[in-house]
Amino acid sequence: MNFELSGDQLTFQTLAKAFSDNELKPNAAKWDAECTFPLETIKKAGELGFCSLYVSEDNGGMGLSKVDATIIIEELAAGCTSTTAFMTIHNMATWMVSEFGSTKLKEEWLQDLNSGSKLSSYCLTEPGSGSDAASLKTSAVKKDNCYVLNGNKAFISGSGSTDCLILMARTGDGGPGGISCFLVPADADGIEYGKNESKMGWRNQPTRIVSLKDVKIPLDNLMGQEGQGFKIAMKGLDGGRINIATCSVGTAQAALEEAQKYMNEREQFGKKIGEFQALQFKLADMTTNLVAARQMVRLAASKLENNDPDSTTYCAMAKRFATDVGFDVCNEALQIFGGYGYIQDYPLERYVRDVRVHQILEGTNEIMKMIVGRRMLLEGAARIIQ
């Protein structure tokens, strides 16, 4: 197994780092403080292909592998966690349109979604169905030449500022088999958006409840077939777990570099704090765990790319481990800064706030443990750890 990056991957990394350093990092603190959703910056990212990472070249996208995408996402997250996290959600939703949308939907939406000139939100979670996504209640009833949607979605990233919603709704009986997937124009009659939630982190991307009352959409806005929605959602979530894990790794890398630099500058008791063995050990543990998390994420991305039968298990392991490590590294970096880490003149407190939610979304880390634990109880499953 070759762990070295290829020439193309190094080019992607360099391009993403330049964009991150020039467009994201200098503005991240201001966007966070002012709760500014940087639409124009995201559009610039789209011009570089960063809004269509998984869309095939035939459909106008970059057509990158899952591993290639992690290299780009990690660099972007080091500049602004929140903006990058939204871009990964948009990438997932845009990929769904490219893979499951009708010819009409692709012609109408895909070019603008690929370029970032139009943005998408992903609508699965509801007020009463978080981890238990298969129990969602939003309905889609076929009537005349359209579907009529009613229900509520919660914690929807970008909602109220995006152009379309990739939305899961119930067209059949209870359980996962009764769920279908739709593209819903964000300005359709009957859609109302709640207040922008005041959040601990991810403050520069809006998060709202989406309410649908007798919202009518054309039959062509069904993605895939009726009853395939939950399968589509789960295919997206495996990739989403890799994405959010990568955002944690990228942010933790930025925190680690800040801590290393600070340890070489800060003096206490007549010497640089980097000379204290206790802090050297702390930095060593942070570095080791971060490298392990990065490799686990890339392994899971490779498994997913190659349709490995245990890819879902690997994605769950990577998401759980990398988001826990990401938070721990950021938190330890803040500790190294002492009181300075707690004030907003330095980025450490923002890193901690932004990565904390990664342990919750795309399936909580407790759910990730359930996925892995149940898989391991099956006969012969122990081979996945070899």
Owner of token pair 């009181």: 339
Q: Angle of helix 229-263 relative to helix 277-305, nearest 10 degrees?
A: 160
Within 8 A by CB and 6+ apart from 257, the residues are none
Tokens read off for 160: 């109220």
Annotated catalytic residue: which of 108, 305, 362, 379? 362
Q: Is 362 a catalytic residue?
A: yes
Query: Cβ of 335: how many Cβ atoms within 10 Å?
Result: 14
> DSSP characters for 261-290?
HHHTT-EETTEEGGGSHHHHHHHHHHHHHH
What's the distance, CA 21 to chain centroid?
Answer: 20
Q: Which two tokens stand for residue 358?
A: 């990664």
**CB atoms closer than 10 angstroms to residue 33:** 12
Q: With contact defined as beta carbons under 8 Å apart, do 237 and 64 qualify?
A: no
The DSSP annotation for 20-87 comes to IIIIITTTHHHHHHHT---HHHHHHHHHTTTT-SSS-GGGTS----HHHHHHHHHHHHHH-HHHHHHH
Cα 3 from Cα 187, distance rounded (Å): 46
Active site residues: 362
